[in-house]
Amino acid sequence: MALLNFKKRDAAPATTSPEVEAFLQGYSIEVMPRTAEKVENFRDLLPEGTRVYIAHIEGTPIEDMVATAKRLANEGYPVMPHFPARIIRDAATLENWIAMYQGEAGVEQALLLAGGVDKPHGDFHSSMQLLETGLFDKAGFKRLHVAGHPEGNKDIDPDGSRKNVDEALRWKTKFNETTDAEMALATQFAFDAKPIIAWADALKEAGITLPIHIGIAGPAKLQTLIKFAIACGVGPSLKVLQKRAMDVSKLLLPYEPTDVIRELAMHKAANPDFNIDKVHFFPLGGIKTNATWAIENGGEATKPASAS
């Protein structure tokens, strides 16, 4: 089976299998304030109740983040903003951010991560330190997600191993026993199902029991995917994309995540205790494109939330 599925956008969508439909139930999607501004009405794109992550890129004012959260919450979507440890100066700043999100948008969910910054801006350098403040429990957050890396993370493990990453995940699994919030791993995107399955199984064998929300890149041009893969440090998948880029006949055709979703869905159906629980989309080719693909391929609604 090919790792990537390329086809013309005007091709008729394949018949959706029950396995894929079940696997896509409750999927989430990620936006940034600047991309959200381009969407006139999210109800025209996303099923009611879709969890929407708001990515916090360095340099984005917290006011823009909160305004985006407020808008999405007002449109009826549960919002999960990013809290990148390395751009949060201190506990007082963190407490202020939490208060702003809750006061303006009623936020009760958060993704805690180190953040893509080499030098911390202040006291924090890891999501574990954010958890240790106790501020999210104090504020009554109902769900806390932390980052997962199916292909490893060379910023954390420069030698290419998973020693430090897995040690941190064991710490977070233990922390899960002390918080009332539901916890899960939200992962970086990857393109090949087999290494994802092997990684998820290895976590389970190591006693890391947090459910996994697997990151999947939405439909996009190959050049766009390569750009984001380089920026995000995606290793093996980047090699696959670069190999595809050598084929001029495929260079201009859009990528769609059909194959990786199908293979993961079939594995989940055959192994109900498989620890991948949800799909989390990175709409690298645009929110509308990703949302349309999800609905056409078995997402939890066949019509947008605003339809009658």
- Band of the pLDDT at 7, cuts 50, 70, 90? very low
Boundaries of domain holding 260: 26-296
**Does residue 9 form part of some domain?**
no
Band of pLDDT at residue 143, cut at 50, 70 and 90 = very high
Domains held by the chain: number: 1
pLDDT at 31: 97
Which DSSP string corresponds to 157-180? -TTS-SHHHHHHHHHHHHHTTT-S
pLDDT of residue 240: 57
pLDDT at 147 (0 to 100): 93
Judge whether residue 214 has pLDDT over 90: yes
- The separation between CA 5 and the C-alpha centre of its own chain, rounded to angstroms, equals 20
Residue 304 domain-assigned (yes or no): no
> Quick check: 154 pLDDT over 60?
no
Instruction: Return the axis-axis angle of helices 258-270 and 193-205, rounded to nearest 10°.
Output: 40
In a domain, 306, yes or no: no
Would the pLDDT of 248 be above 70? no
User: In 3-state terms, what secondary structure has residue 91?
Assistant: helix
Instruction: Write out pLDDT tens, residues 60-116.
Output: 999 999 999 999 999 999 999 999 999 999 999 999 999 999 999 999 999 999 987
**pLDDT value at 169 more than 90:** yes
What's the CATH code of the domain at 181?
3.20.20.220
3-state DSSP percent of the chain in helix, strand and coil, to 5: 40, 15, 40
Per-residue pLDDT band for 246 (boundaries 50, 70, 90) equals low
> Which helix (H) or strand (E) element contains residue 99?
helix 91-105
Whether residue 93 is contained in a domain is answered as: yes
Close Cβ partners of 261 (under 8 Å, ≥ 6 residues apart): 20, 23, 24, 216, 279, 297
Element (H, E) at 147: strand 143-148
Higher pLDDT, 66 or 226: 66
The tokens describing 262, both together, are 């199908």
Give me the pLDDT at residue 259, please.
87
- Contact, 187 vs 150, CB < 8 A? yes
| Residue 250 maps to a domain | yes
Is residue 169 in some structural domain?
yes
- Which pLDDT score, from 0 to 100, does residue 102 have? 98
pLDDT of residue 305: 41
| Both tokens assigned to 281 | 């989309």
Residue type, 118: D
Give the CB-side neighbour count of residue 2, counting CA atoms within 13 A: 11
The β-bridge partners of 79 are 52
> CA gyration radius for the chain?
19
The answer to the question of residue 21 being in a domain is no
CA distance 59 to 196: 32
Q: Between 13 and 49, where is the model more confident?
A: 49
Residue linked to tokens 């893509």: 116
279 close to 211: Cβ distance less than 8 angstroms:
no
Residue length of the chain: 308
Helix (H) or strand (E) holding 254: none
13 vs 9 pLDDT, higher one: 13
Is 215 within the bounds of a domain? yes
Residue 226 near residue 140 (C-beta atoms within 8 A): no
pLDDT surpasses 90 at 18: yes
Q: How far is it, in rounded angstroms, from Cα 253 to Cα 217?
A: 15
User: What's the CA gap between 59 and 190, in Å, rounded?
Assistant: 26
- Provide CB contacts within 8 A for 146, sequence distance 6+: 111, 112, 113, 127, 131, 169, 172, 183, 184, 185, 186, 210
Contact 281, 218 (CB under 8 A): yes
- pLDDT digit string (tens) for 117-127? 889 999 999 99
